Amino acid sequence: MTNKMWGGRFSDGPAQIMEEINASISFDKRLYAKDIEGSKAHCAMLAKTTIISQQDASKIVEGLDTILLEIENGDFKFSRQLEDIHMNIEARLAELIGPVAGRLHTARSRNDQVATDFKLYVRDMIDHFVTQLDGLQAALVEKADDFASLVMPGFTHLQTAQPVTLGHHLLAYVEMFERDRGRLLDGRKRLNENPLGAAALAGTPFPIDRDMTSKLLGFERPMGNSLDAVSDRDFVLETLSSLSISAVHLSRLSEELVIWATAQFGFITLSDGFSTGSSIMPQKRNPDAAELVRAKIGRIAGALQGLTMVMKGLPLAYSKDMQEDKEMAFDAFDNYSLMVAAMTGMIADLQPNEERMTAAAAHGYSTATDLADWLVRELNMPFRDAHHVTGEIVALAEKQGIRLDELTLEDMQTVEPGIKKSVLEVLSVQQSVASRMSYGGTSPTNVKKMAQQWLTRLEKRSSTS
């Protein structure tokens, strides 16, 4: 049978395969609350402008409220034949209130309707992600504050470079997630324009009030071009782009947790709540939560690439291709939210092995740069010369199989006679981190101060949200 919503143009129904490829209700039904919210705003505007009567508007709103309750209570029957959430709701409204339901679609198209629904949904998801990131940052900052003085190796090329503190390392991710948060909020500002009223693509001859619907729906203003309004999916692309960058940061942190939890590193322990065992090896404790977070970047970045390919060749205005925007975006949103939640739990859960971290910090001649800096300061040596001298002293320690701070003063003087006893004060990892007092440096004093500033900042956000 033909779909009644299509009107008199069609006499026959779609082929079975057409129904399969065309229907989106299986995934876009999650937009139901936003569809009803947008419809109620549109209805209020139609009544205010006398395009429909107040009596009809009241019936429509009452019917929409009934549908909302039916869906939330699990009593609503979704139909694939009705294609999408918009037509499912409209058909049910007609069942509830009769022909009056048809007045709701005056001065509106599914094109501006779906754009409005999706913008409202993405806007809410951005708010949710920002709140989640605040929670992750809080977990990182609290752990950084607890371990502001715990020395660990800092790495470049995954080789021991210079000593840092665990608190400093964790605060690096706080900064990354703050930028992620900022990108999402910047995108939210750009998406917060109202497509409703653009109709199919050209606007409408009815005397609608788009400022009114914008205000009712919390948009800053109506979109300025009807063609753009129905064909814009920048807001989805930009959100997916921001989430992809953030997922990279989550994946990097996950990789470090996986490495740190190995027997070879032994820097941290994750509890049973964030570990799994092996079906055959009883000794195993696998950091599966971290591994899964590390992997999910593929789904987030894949959604961005997928939607980019959908949009890249579309002429203005709306094309059915754009139905492909939601399923991949929904999947990315769900998985990103799961990533942040899992990472927040792991950060709060992890326990550092302080003895192992401190011991590892002294390996790999990690205070060699401190020695070179000492030669510059105390002997007025050009840094490149100091670098060369330090390299010879490191080679001497390596030959003897000892740490740099285990070399005797006499040993070092065979390389550079001007070296004095005071050099021994700069070769411990504790002194190394303590000396890094430059702004943003790893000294425990700096880390403690920065952690406290972040705690204050996050508490203020929480109190005003």
- Burial (0-12, 13-18, 19+ Cβ within 10 Å), 458: middle
Could you tell me which of 205, 345, 190, 379 has the C-alpha nearest to residue 275?
Answer: 345
Among candidate residues 53, 79, 271, 278, the one labeled active-site is 278
Give yes or no: 157 in active site.
yes
Residues 6+ apart with CB under 8 A from 368: 390, 391, 393, 394, 404
> Angle at which helices 234-260 and 324-349 pack, to 10 degrees?
30
Phi and psi at residue 2, in whole multiples of 5°? -75, 155
Residues 6+ apart with CB under 8 A from 230: 109, 111, 112, 115, 195, 198, 199, 200, 201, 317, 318
Could you tell me which of 56, 31, 32 has the C-alpha nearest to residue 46?
Answer: 56
Cα–Cα distance between 213 and 122 in angstroms, integer?
18
Among candidate residues 157, 279, 438, 463, the one labeled active-site is 157
Give yes or no: 363 in active site.
no
Is the CB of residue 153 less than 8 Å from the CB of residue 356? Answer: no
Cα–Cα distance between 123 and 60 in angstroms, integer?
26
Residues involved in catalysis: 157, 278
